[in-house]
Chain A
Amino acid sequence: MSSSTDTRTSIVWDYAPAPESADHIRLSDRYGLFLDGEFKDPQDGRYEPTINPATEQPIAEVAWAGRQDIEAAVRSAREAQPKWAALKDLERAKYLFRIARLIQERSRELAVVETLDGGKPLRESRDVDIPLAAAHFFHYAGWADKLRYGVNAREVAPLGVVGQIVPWNFPLLMAAWKLAPALACGNTAILKPAETTPLTALLLAEIAQEAELPPGVISILPGNGETGAALVRQKKINKIAFTGSTAVGRDIQAALAGSEVRLTLELGGKSANIVFEDAALDQAVEGIVNGIFFNQGHVCCAGSRLLIQESVHDEVIGKLWQRMRRLRVGDPLDKNTDVGAINSAEQLERIEVLVAAGEEEGATRRTIECEMPDRGYWFAPTLFTDVSPAHRIAVEEIFGPVVSVLTFRTQAEAIEKANNSRYGLAAGIWTDKGAKAFEVASALQAGVVWQNTYNHFDPTAAFGGYKESGFGREGGPAGLRPYVRIVS
């Protein structure tokens, strides 16, 4: 006879560590530049380590491109472009389908490397970043032979050579968002991954080799801001696509003034997540959490301004705070981690400066208590209430796990407050009333409006900003237009 039923009143059930195994990952110690279908040493660039922000340990050495390397890449891309464009449309599609399938096959490996290099939780790289990257290639593969339907013209032509600069928050996914449409439309591309997260782009180069992509169709040139600036100023390219901060976007737009080089920009945001009193409140709380703590808040479209209807403010904040306290911050490779590491020491400092400003300006700060490792860059999820619209934490993009709460009384006031920003990337609307959801959606100056959800992405759904959040769209048929010119 065994023991009687357990009637302890003080129970603790901890999740045991559940690290994703990394021993099947094939990572080299050193990666050259990817040019002409091969990995090469830089001519006038140099090798730099890329580190794991959760441990501050180097993972590999990566070549950064110098000016000569960039020029070589442009020459190679120019030479490869006519042959690439001359391929039968469906043949071009087949290369992209191959890349999509290879990403799927190597998905676990890519997810682990993405987490090691950037600090985001394995659960996110595994369940969001990598699958969406594969889907993006798959979707645009299918447009390659249907351009006249997607762009609504009798005949379209590629632009030629495109330079693409991507950020560190969704490294592989952003590379997919850039490369897939560019290649589908018959362009060749030079991709500059972000300074702190070059690895998955380099694995993508290996995948391109495995797919037998003709040499020169893509080049991968890691580097820092200088590398990007040098790429932007190349004379022989036809277009630049940039995703990153508004400050750098502004510089790029200025640098291209007077030139024929086309430009699309996907920049920062301070997106309003609006909760009405008739919302499904528990789901709204999930949406708030997803909106600002997903990927540690390193998301251009993060719902960083939470606008709550005053009548439900206390209830929502109460639920939100309890929910925040359940967030698990820690080792990104642990499958149970919800919030990973901050991407770099620089980014951590930026967050700390703005959070300090928030406290100084008089907002009320609450930060969850959690054990964080001694090494690595960490910031615990933080909630600011009693925020006024003029506070820096309500105006400037923090790009971290920090949400600022404002209240409103009426639908009209919510719209006004939400639109009162130089940014216009995204917004969230939480209400159970359809008509209201659609009216508020049409009134918001935001390129992406999520109703009763947040941070959902799909290759078929166009994404991009209004105002200083940029111009141009990625995803769907709208994502083809920036990469073609209409012939007739």
Chain B
Amino acid sequence: MIRRLPHVDRVGIEERAAQLGKRSIKTTAKQQGIRLAVSMVDLTTLEGADTPGKVRQLCAKGVCPAPTMPEIPSVAAICVYPQLVATAKEALRGSGVKTASVATGFPAGQVSLEAKLRDTEDAVQAGADEIDMVISREAFLAGDDTRVMQEIVAVKDHCGDAHLKVILETAELGSYDHVRHASMIAMEAGADFIKTSTGKASAGATPGVCLVMLEAIRDYTERSGRIVGFKAAGGVSTSKAALHRLVLVKETLGDEWLTPERIRIGASSVLNDLLMQYAKTETGRYGRSEDFSKE
């Protein structure tokens, strides 16, 4: 397969993404936006030091982020390493919050395809509802788009009923042309969601990257009739950043896309900032970190 990169102009895309960051979201729009954002969060912990205890507390937080503000919904999912899937699944039973697992040698993906598939199977068997895989950047950067696609197809085959998010790791791909190209490969290979980053690289879901991927989704969805979702992960650590991403979705794809069925935000610290900003819209007071529990 000879690669033909699509054209994305960096200056233009960053100008547009920045301009959408100037939308002024106040009062009722801000409250609704924050509630939407919370409902889209994949509350995440992906550390070597994760233990069942840590994961159980995170699950409780995700199910009920703010006991004092009952109108705040649960998050969309809890995202963990395969070893912790069973713990999370048990803790989330009956809540409606999904269990998502990273797989395929996350985050670097520098293992054999067999290992990646086995990793996926383990997570699925432990009960994961959603699998977040990484594309092979090693193959992509060598120009081997065929292998990149084949791996995604194979992982999807091993997902069973779980939905598949494909992480592009945009910071490593080189340019926006490459981000768009990788988005198309992933969608054509059957991804249910395309996701910006692992959160472990130098950059994550910058506004420019999000906009490129949303435009790719828009064009693919229109052409194929199949809906593919978008997950922004890495660098979305404030309410302002979360709302900016929602604006990008709204003005690229439309209001009907503003649902956790189609949009997710992979994050950990943003949740409390969302709660603080929500509280401010109610009380008029600027908050402090102690106002909400860490977990």
Contact A286 B15, beta carbon cutoff 8 Å: yes
CB atoms of B259 and A11 under 8 A apart: yes
Q: Does residue A88 face the partner (Cβ distance < 8 Å to B)?
A: no
Q: Which residues of B does A touch, CB under 8 Å?
A: 7-9, 11-13, 15-16, 22-30, 32-33, 35-36, 39, 63-66, 70-76, 95-97, 215, 246, 250-251, 255-256, 258-261
Q: How far apart sit A378 and B223, CA to CA, in the bound complex (Å)?
A: 35
Quick check: A283 and B8 within 8 Å, CB to CB? Answer: yes
Separation of A78 and B91 alpha carbons in the complex (Å): 85
Identify 19 new A-B residue pairs, CB closer than 8 A, beyond the known A5-B74, A9-B259, A127-B22: A1-B95, A2-B70, A2-B73, A5-B75, A13-B29, A13-B246, A13-B258, A15-B29, A16-B26, A16-B29, A18-B25, A123-B22, A280-B8, A280-B13, A282-B215, A283-B8, A283-B12, A286-B16, A432-B7
Q: Measured between alpha carbons, how far is A9 from B258 in the docked complex, in Å?
A: 9
Chain A residue nearest to B76 (CB atoms) is: A5
Which residues from A are CB-within-8-Å of B22?
Answer: 123, 127, 335
Instruction: Count A interface residues, CB 8 Å.
Output: 34
**Residues B96 and A4 in contact, CB atoms below 8 Å apart:** yes
Least distance between B78 CB and chain A CB atoms (Å): 12
Query: Is A436 on the interface with B (CB-CB < 8 A)?
Result: no
Q: A5-B75, A11-B255 are in contact. Are A287 and B24 (CB under 8 A)?
A: no
CB A324 to nearest CB in B, in angstroms, measures 12
Known: A4-B95, A5-B97. Contact between A452 and B26, CB under 8 A?
Answer: no
Q: Is the CB of A278 within 8 A of B12?
A: no
A-B residue pairs in contact (CB < 8 Å), sample of 13: A2-B64, A3-B73, A6-B73, A7-B260, A13-B36, A13-B246, A15-B23, A280-B7, A280-B9, A286-B12, A335-B23, A336-B24, A452-B12
Verify if A281 is at the interface (C-beta below 8 Å from B).
yes
The answer, yes or no, to whether A28 is at the interface (CB within 8 Å) is: no
Which chain A residues lie closer than 8 Å to B35 at the CB level?
Answer: 6
In the complex, A419 has a CB within 8 A of chain B: no
**Interface of chain B: mostly helix, strand, loop or mixed:** loop
User: CB within 8 A of A11: which of B12, B65, B256?
Assistant: B256
CA A13 to CA B29, docked complex, whole Å? 7
Q: Interface digits, A117-158 against B, CB 8 Å rule (1 contact, 0 not)?
A: 000000100010000000000000000000000000000000
CA distance A16 to B34 in the complex (A): 14
Q: Which of A2, A9, A279, A452 contacts B72 (CB 8 A)?
A: A2
A452 and B11 form a contact (CB under 8 A): yes
Chain B residue contacts of A1, Cβ below 8 A = 63-64, 95
Residues of chain A within 8 A of B63, CB atoms compared? 1-2
Contacting pair A16 B11 (CB below 8 A): no
Within 8 A of B (CB), among A1-59: 1-18
Q: Which residues of B contact A336 (CB under 8 A)?
A: 23-24
Expressed in whole angstroms, the Cα–Cα distance for A114 and B161 within the complex equals: 58
With both chains docked as a complex, state the minimum distance between the C-beta of B222 and any C-beta of chain A, in angstroms.
Answer: 9
Closest B residue to A2 by CB, please name it: B64
Residue of A7, A280, A287, A335 ringed by the most chain B CB atoms within 10 A: A280
CA distance A12 to B260 in the complex (A): 14
Shortest Cβ distance from A334 into B: residue: B24
For the complex formed, measure the closest distance between the CB of B19 and the CB atoms of chain A, giving whole angstroms: 9
Bound CA–CA A2/B68 (angstroms): 10
Please give me the residue from chain B that is nearest to A14 by CB atom.
B29
Chain B neighbourhood of A246, CB < 8 A: none
Contacts of B16 in A (CB 8 A): 283, 286
A293 → chain B closest CB, angstroms: 13
**4 tightest Cβ-Cβ pairs between the two chains A and B:** A4-B96, A283-B12, A18-B24, A16-B29
How far is it, in angstroms, between the C-alpha of A336 and the C-alpha of B74 when the chains are bound?
30
Q: Which residue of B lies closest to A122 (CB)?
A: B24
Q: Are A16 and B28 in contact (CB under 8 A)?
A: yes
Minimum CB–CB distance from B121 to chain A (whole Å) comes to: 26
Using CB atoms, name the residue of chain B closest to A18: B24
Give chain B residues whose Cβ lies under 8 Å from the Cβ of A10: 256
Q: Is A326 an interface residue (CB 8 A)?
A: yes
Within the assembled complex, what's the spacing in Å between the Cα atoms of A326 and B74?
Answer: 31
Contact residues, A440-475 vs B (CB, 8 A): 452-453
CB contact between B13 and one of A11, A16, A282 (< 8 Å): that residue: A282
Q: Is the CB of B8 within 8 A of A282?
A: yes
Shortest CB distance A100–B (Å): 24
Residues in chain B near residue A11, CB distance under 8 A = 36, 255-256, 258-259
In angstroms, Cα B22 to Cα A11, docked, is: 22
Neighbour of A15 across the interface among B24, B73, B97, CB < 8 A: B24
* A22 → B minimal CB distance (Å): 15
